[in-house]
């Protein structure tokens, strides 16, 4: 528990924010490289259009952003409330 180690509520919230953002950046970038390479290969062979590529990449980004926000607020609520930092 970070509270017992000596971190303040503000420090814990900052750690949670950085942790969640870096985690979701990682799970966004890794599959996105594969998706973009695959889609541009398909574009090269006229199997897809630019509009479809933009739609697929946008959908992936929106889903990651929604998941990131849900995780951030849930995680922050759990850590702050369970750690005794209701107002911290």
Q: Is the pLDDT of residue 25 over 80?
A: yes
For residue 84, give Cα distances in angstroms to 6, 39, 68, 69, 71: 13, 48, 24, 22, 20
Give the integer Cα–Cα distance in Å for 55 and 19: 28
Predicted confidence at residue 18, as pLDDT, reads 92
Residue 64 pLDDT level (bands cut at 50, 70, 90): very high
For residue 86, give the 3-state DSSP assignment: coil
What is the pLDDT averaged over residues 40-69? Answer: 91
Give tens-digit pLDDT for 28-51.
Answer: 999 999 998 998 899 888 888 889
């Amino acid at each position: 528990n970070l509270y017992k180690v000596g971190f303040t509520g503000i420090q814990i919230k900052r750690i949670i924010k950085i942790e969640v953002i870096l985690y979701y950046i990682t799970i966004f970038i890794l599959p996105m490289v594969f998706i973009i390479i695959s889609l541009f290969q398909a574009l090269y062979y006229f199997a897809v259009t630019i509009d479809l590529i933009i739609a697929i990449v946008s959908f992936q980004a929106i889903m990651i952003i929604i998941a990131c926000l849900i995780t951030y607020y849930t995680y922050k609520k759990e850590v702050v409330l369970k750690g005794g930092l209701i107002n911290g």
